[in-house]
Structure 1
Amino acid sequence: MAEIVIKNVAKSFGSFKALHSVDMTISNQEFMVLLGASGCGKTTLLRIIAGLETPTQGEVWIGGRRVDHLPPRQRGIAMVFQNYAVFPHLTVFENIAFGLRMQKMDKAEVERRVTRTAELMHIEQLLKRYSGQLSGGQRQRVAVARALAMEPDVILMDEPLSNLDALLRLEMRAELKGVLADSKTTTIYVTHDQVEAMSLADRISVMNGGRIVQSDSPVEVYRNPAARFVGSFIGNPPMNFMEAKRTGTGRWRVGGIEIDGPQADRGTLEFAIRPEDVTRAEAGFAATARVVEPLGAHTLVTCEVGGKPFRAIIDSDDPIAPGDTMTLAPQPARVRWFDPETQTAISA
């Protein structure tokens, strides 16, 4: 069992507080993604779990054992870095075998593990090559194979695909998900790329300002953001936000129309809707198209609603040009509401 428990972990660098009392549990064999913008604390948290940073306060438990006082080699982990960290003077075989030989493992067992993990990562034909003869994608496969060969309880990955081109990232994402599921290894994966997070994760922990803002399944994080930050960070393009004012009838006035909403005990809320959750209709927001971006099956239209920018994704067969006016109706079930003071979600 390789459940990871983070208890009240904080980290300060001088007067700067990188992490604020983080609590989280990653289940055995779960693929957890830490997602957030640069500087949010995700890599610091990963390095604390790995033993490369010491927490200012708090505890780290792996497999029921407290490890925050142990060096990295005694934590039962392997790590894959952004820059691959593949040794250029060694062959692919020697790179994968490096950690195993450091443990003075039997030669036959080393060969078995290297061969097995090379086959898993589809690099068995490269075992005799040096890393300087490999492409970026091949070097990344070697780095992952080296980690898997250790048969660790936990694999930690720090933006491992960020140096690859878009097509190769797509290919590697699919491979990683399958290989790590087969290995039955608990995985923590750090990224700022929400597409990676959504496609890989069993669960996403969205971080901001050294705190975990929401930890949930990819679908739940996307459809039901717990905070305004999550709605604005997840999604490309992100959610639309508009001010909503309570009317005398108890409804809410948004973008020039009245709609039903929460029975909140205040006069102003924030209305939110994703660009794909509005449709052209006879009644709704009066919008003027400003920028039209064809995206293949769909068209992204940046409009003006009530003098403010508003994005809508419409079918590419539906003709629209800059300057055109249209009426956009929000799907009621997809509307979300936020408290403008606390920035947290409010149930409708």
Structure 2
Amino acid sequence: MAEIVIKNVAKRFGSFTALHSIDLTIADQEFMVLLGASGCGKTTLLRIIAGLETPSQGEVWIGGRRVDHLPPRERGIAMVFQNYAVFPHLTVFENIAFGLRMKKLPQAEVDARVNRTAELMHIEQLLRRYSGQLSGGQRQRVAVARALAMEPDVILMDEPLSNLDALLRLEMRAELKGVLANSKTTTIYVTHDQVEAMSLADRISVMNGGKIVQAASPVEVYRNPAARFVGSFIGNPPMNFLPANRSAAGQWSVAGLDVPGPAAGDALEFAIRPEDLTVAAEGFAATARVVEPLGAHTLVTAEVGGQMFRAVLDSDLKVSPGDELRLSPKADRIRWFNRETGLAAG
């Protein structure tokens, strides 16, 4: 069992607080992604779990054992870094075997593990090459194989695909997900790339300002963001937001349109994802400003209530800059946020 429990963990660098009282439980064999913009604290949290940083307060437990006082080598973890960290003077075989030899495993066991993980990562034909002869994608496969060969309880991955080109990143994402699921390890993966997070994770912890804003499944954080920040960060393009006020009819007035909404509250914010809008006879009065054909869909940036508002429409619908149209929100996809706290309402 490799359940990870983070209890009230904070990290301060002088007067700057990088992490604020983090509480998070990651289940055995779960793939957890820490997602957020640069500086949000995700890498600091990963380094505390790894033992590369000491928390200013709080506890870290792995597999029922408190480890925040232990050095990295005693925590049962392996790490994969953004810069691969493979040794250029060693062959692929020697790179994968490095940690196993440090543990003084028998040569037969070393050979078996290296060959098994190399096959998993489809690099068995590269075992006699030096890392300087490899492409970036091949070096990343070596780094993952080296981590898997250690048969760790936990694998920690810090933006491991960010140095790869878009097509290779897509290929590696699918491969990583399958390999790590079969390895039955608990994985914590740090990224700022929401597509990586959505495609890989069992759960996503969205971080902002040193805090976890929401920890939930990819579908949940996308469809039911717990805070305005989550809605604005997840999605490309992100959610649209418009101020909402009580109307005379007891509904919510949003850019001149009456919309049914929560019973409580006085000043809320209406939110809708761009793909949850359709062109209809009734809806928000919109003026198209920018039209971007995207193949199957067209992204229209329009002006609604004096604000920019995006809609993802079917490409068969012909829209040109300057066109006046009505954008109707799908009622079951509308979300509401408190304008003061930024938290979900209703």
Q: TM-score with structure 1 length normalisation?
A: 0.99
2:89: which partner in 1? 89
Task: Give deviations 1:100-120, integer Å, cap 9, x for gaps.
Answer: 001111000000000000000
Q: Which residue is 1:37 aligned to?
A: 37
Deviation at 1:265, TM superposition (A): 3.2
Aligned twin of 1:100: 100
For the residue of structure 1 that corresponds to 2:265, the secondary structure is: coil
* Letter aligned with residue 257 of structure 1: L
User: Aligned equivalents of 1:306 and 1:242: distance in 2?
Assistant: 8
Deviations 1:305-328 (A, max 9, x none): 111100000001111111111111
One-letter code of the match for 1:90? L
1:213 Cα deviation (Å)? 0.2
Number of residue-to-residue matches in the alignment: 346
Which position in structure 1 is the counterpart of 2:281? 282
Aligned partners of 2:332 and 2:146: how far apart in 1? Answer: 47
Taking every aligned residue pair, what percent have the same amino acid on both sides? 82
Deviation of the 1:52 alpha carbon: 0.2
Q: Which runs of 5+ in 2 are unaligned?
A: none
Kindly provide the amino acid, as one letter, of the partner of residue 236 in structure 1: N
* Code of the aligned partner of 1:241: F
Question: Residue type matched to 2:74 in 1?
Answer: Q
RMSD: 0.5
Cα offset for 1:264?
1.6
Q: How far 1:131 moved relative to its partner?
A: 0.4
Q: Give the letter for the 1:97 counterpart.
A: A
Matched residue type, 2:175: E
Per-residue CA deviations over 1:195-235 (Å, capped at 9, x if unaligned) read 00000000000000000000000000000000000000000
CA distance in 2 between partners of 1:48 and 1:238 (Å) = 31
Which residues of structure 1 form unaligned runs of 5+?
A: none
Corresponding residue of 2:16 = 16
The match for 2:244 is 244
Superposed CA deviations along residues 256-314 of structure 1, whole A, max 9, x for unmatched, are: 11111111232x21000000000000000111110111111001000001111000000
Inter-partner Cα distance in structure 2 for 1:241 and 1:150 = 47
Tell me which amino acid in the other structure corresponds to 1:119: E
Question: After superposition, what is the alpha-carbon deviation per residue over 1:36-62, rounded to whole angstroms, capped at 9, x for unaligned?
Answer: 000000000000000000000000000
- When normalised by structure 2's length, the TM-score is 1.00
- Rounded to whole Å, the distance in 2 between the matches of 1:159 and 1:82 is 5
Counterpart of 1:262? Answer: 262
Deviation digits for residues 113-153 of structure 1 (CA, Å, limit 9, x no counterpart): 00000000000000000000000000000000000000000
Separation in structure 2 between the aligned mates of residue 259 and residue 191 of structure 1, nearest angstrom = 37
Over residues 322-348 of structure 1, what are the superposed CA-to-partner deviations in whole Å (9 max), with x where a residue is unaligned?
A: 11111110000000000011110011x
**Per the alignment, in what secondary structure is the counterpart of residue 85 of structure 1?**
coil
SS in 2 for 1:87: coil
Which string of whole-angstrom CA distances, capped at 9 and with x for unpartnered residues, describes residues 14-50 of structure 1?
1000000000000000000000000000000000000
Does 2:314 correspond to 1:315?
Answer: yes
